[in-house]
Structure 1
Amino acid sequence: MTSRHLLWSALGAAAILILIGGGWLWSLPPAPSVTPPLPIAQAERDATIAALKPPKRQRPLIAIIGINDATETTDYLMPYGILKRADVADVVTLATKPGPVTLFPVLKVEPQATTAEFDAQHPDGADYVIVPAMSRDDDPAALQWIRNQAARGAIVVGVCAGAKVVGDAGLLHGKRATTHWYSVKEIRGKHPTLRYVEDRRFVVDDRVATTTGISASMPISLTLIEAIAGRDKARAVGRDIGLPDWDARHESDEFTFTRPFALTAIGNTAAFWARERLGIELKDGVDEVSLALAADAWSRTYRSRAVTFAATADARQSRGGLRIHPEQVASDWPAERLLPSVADRRPADVLDETLHAITARYGARTTDFVAMQMEYPRNRAAQ
């Protein structure tokens, strides 16, 4: 795993250093102060949908780019799975180099093409390019490819801290934007002309869209479906995945670095002797969105890591046609550390059920810690 290890692997160690260093920890707020955002005006909704209309094809082409050594699990898989389920566009996962993409914090998948292969097949470029969070924001191959796609007329969507990659590609100059709550200060410092927008899970400005943290890839995917195929189609897909209603509202004040967040990072990191490897059996036909949400959440507790296993080392094919590699070859897993199957469960329900299970296993503070990392508004499951 390279450089930052995508933020969270270093957070616990950093929090311990803060504790040792003294009083800064106790200056953190004990809890966020939340002011519910106002409803989205119809004119704003209409403008968002209009800005996301397919720029080229009647049936759009959507490319999701990743770098091979570390791309965020849910950012990469959730837009793919939801958009494939809708069947209103051609969707392809890419990597900058040949070979599998190692996702963070868990899973390894085979991309369907490299960026070079995509360019050879589609010299006129994609209609939409989705940019997840990556282990580095300045990968030269990824940045150049994103710039080229934007120049060819693609709408670029930076999911979560993928907004930082979009910014480093030079596409956020003077634009309204958002990102994961932890990255707001950094992105505003690097891109001083960017106009940060509070209380929105996603923002669209002049062919560039950005979202808040990981879980926001669900409503932005449904909003893309609405822009492509209409509100009724988006609602049907939303019901199918367990999100019957959504909009861009977001309580930004709910997500901030608080004392309980830091103390949970410290405590869970310090309890390294109690860390668990929890098994998820990997089967053909698995819903990649449900798998991503469950595996991602369990791997962010600092008490556990989800491990996919299968009886053979052969990659399994997901519901949407992706090849996912099992991490461990095993015919079974100890019952006390075996996670429930995600089969036949709606993805949004899987996330809620996983958070409830984390509470039962590790307590409510760990659940809040995970939800904060995923920027998931737990008090509004329909958002």
Structure 2
Amino acid sequence: MQTSRVIVKLLYLLLLSVFIIDCAQLDEFQKTEEPPASISHRYSPNPTSKRKKAILIADEKGTEITDLLIPFYLLSATGQIDVQIASQTGKPVSVWKGIFLQPHLSLQDLSLKPDIIILPAVFHETDPLILNFIKSNTDKQFLSICEGAKIIGESKQFSKYQITTHASSRADLEKKYPDLDWKKDLKFTKDRNLISSAGVSSAVEATLILIEQTLGAEAKNKVLKKIKYPYPEIRKNHNSEAVGFWDSLKIASKLAFDGNPKIGVEIYEGMNEFVLAAYLDSFARTFPSRIETFGPPMIRSEYGLYLYPTQTTNDYSLVFCRDVCQSYSFPEEIRFRQRSDDYPFLVTLQEVESLYGKGMRGIVKKLLDEGP
């Protein structure tokens, strides 16, 4: 009887895992939570600047963390672009996975005059405020990250433009938005005033290309050095490999037998936004029962974002901390130090492998659309 229940559970989880998607995972594994009403901070107004201005669109109901924070971090690191995040009303944003963020602006702010608009994967790609903002700024430079391509398609402003997206969603989006010229096996595309990225981690390459196009090679090289980019040139060719049946079987097996771990990631003052995104996004794709952030009630990140933890429990199976969690009473065997000594996605993939094996590393790599 016990064996039968295990088999039924495994088959059920296999069925669920077959429907894994790209930038955002199944609601079964990633619940979109409402930010607490009590959190709200205001940024100091920026003085009038002659620097170019970039606006990252965020959906208050849910925005993918890597799609949002990687472009924010890389553009901010140039020191030559004013980068701000705008949501529908300016209220705190629920960021997939495991953190809340205070945007700088509301999309209803009539003073918004961006040079660059960045579109991450969001919960509501048909939101009228988002689509109207795009339609009123069609002459600007656009950067679409992963399933931000849905917003491009819904806007109906980019007919015949070349575009790419996550390997696991490209076929569906190609059917839904046939007026776009869909490309595969590329980290990014460039067509007129639109740059688009493949899935999740390809936000790095697409944003670096945007930096080079906007500011030149010197600015791009400065950022490459800062993030310890491990490749001799910005990668463009890319093996767009979707998650397959055998990957789904491995995921179902992990869900059935590994005890549904709860993972916590510490946040702290001055935290690197790239490192934060890499840890949360990589380990969310190992399919824990929960992944959360913990730490002070509010922090300012390296480039000044107000971030709020989602902690609802201390009952973690695995925690990643600054300085090996010396300020917390977690058991030593579940504590790991957050590393920032190498390219963040290489670090997190190495740690996934050390904890779960090469098979899970390969799956996470596909879900990140990181490529070979």
Q: TM-score, normalised by structure 2?
A: 0.79
Which residue in the other structure is 1:294 paired with? 279
Contact residue 109 and residue 322 of structure 1 kept, 8 A = yes
Output one character per residue of 1:95-151: Cα deviation in whole Å (capped at 9) or x when no partner: 11232111112221111111123xx323xx21110000012321222112122222x
SS at match of 1:298: helix
Q: After TM superposition, give the deviation of residue 305 of structure 1 in Å.
A: 4.2
* Stretches of structure 2 lacking an aligned partner (at least 5 in a row): 1-10, 19-48, 315-326
SS at match of 2:285: coil
Distance 1:237 1:159 in 2: 19
SS at match of 2:264: strand
SS at match of 2:84: strand
Which residue of 156, 175, 178 maps to 1:170? 156
| 2:88 is the counterpart of 1:105 | no
Q: After TM superposition, give the deviation of residue 339 of structure 1 in Å.
A: 3.6
Amino acid across the alignment from 2:307: I
Q: Structure 1 residues 97, 270: closer, same or farther in 2, change over 3 A?
A: farther
Which residue in the other structure is 2:243 paired with? 257
SS at match of 2:137: helix
Distance 1:64 1:13 in 2: 38
Which residue of 356, 362, 365 maps to 1:362? 356
Which residue of 338, 341, 344 maps to 1:345? 341
Moved over 6 A (4+): none
Which residue in the other structure is 1:328 paired with? 311
Q: Structure 1 residues 13, 98: closer, same or farther in 2, change over 3 A?
A: farther
Which residue of 212, 218, 221 maps to 1:232? 218
Which residue in the other structure is 1:121 paired with? 111
| 2:15 is the counterpart of 1:16 | yes
SS at match of 2:207: helix
Which residue in the other structure is 1:274 paired with? 259
Amino acid across the alignment from 2:123: S
Q: Structure 1 residues 195, 106: closer, same or farther in 2, change over 3 A?
A: same
Q: Structure 1 residues 339, 102: closer, same or farther in 2, change over 3 A?
A: farther
Which residue of 287, 293, 308 maps to 1:308? 293
* Stretches of structure 1 lacking an aligned partner (at least 5 in a row): 1-11, 20-56
Stretch of structure 1 that moved more, 178-187 or 189-198: 189-198
Distance 2:17 2:58 in 1: 33
SS at match of 2:263: strand
SS at match of 1:149: coil
Distance 1:209 1:262 in 2: 31
Q: Structure 1 residues 18, 304: closer, same or farther in 2, change over 3 A?
A: closer
Distance 2:102 2:94 in 1: 9
Stretch of structure 1 that moved more, 317-326 or 186-195: 186-195
Amino acid across the alignment from 1:373: L
Q: RMSD of the TM alignment (CA)?
A: 2.3
Seq. identity, %: 24
Amino acid across the alignment from 1:364: K
Task: Note the 1:5-84 alignment, pairs <5 A.
Answer: 15-16=14-15, 59-84=51-76
Q: After TM superposition, give the deviation of residue 208 of structure 1 in Å.
A: 1.7
Which residue in the other structure is 1:187 paired with? 173
Which residue in the other structure is 1:285 paired with? 270
Q: After TM superposition, give the deviation of residue 304 of structure 1 in Å.
A: 5.8
Q: Structure 1 residues 257, 309: closer, same or farther in 2, change over 3 A?
A: closer
SS at match of 1:301: coil
How many pairs does the alignment contain? 317
Contact residue 13 and residue 256 of structure 2 kept, 8 A = no
Contact residue 173 and residue 191 of structure 1 kept, 8 A = no
Q: Structure 1 residues 146, 13: closer, same or farther in 2, change over 3 A?
A: farther
Distance 1:16 1:246 in 2: 40
Q: Which structure: greater helix fraction?
A: 1
SS at match of 2:218: helix
Q: Structure 1 residues 294, 13: closer, same or farther in 2, change over 3 A?
A: farther
Which residue of 102, 124, 128 maps to 1:140? 128
Which residue of 199, 203, 216 maps to 2:202? 216
Output one character per residue of 1:253-286: Cα deviation in whole Å (capped at 9) or x when no partner: 4x12323221123223334x61222222211000
Amino acid across the alignment from 1:307: E
Amino acid across the alignment from 2:122: M
SS at match of 1:161: helix
Contact residue 129 and residue 156 of structure 1 kept, 8 A = yes
Amino acid across the alignment from 1:369: I
Contact residue 279 and residue 337 of structure 1 kept, 8 A = no
Distance 2:73 2:213 in 1: 17
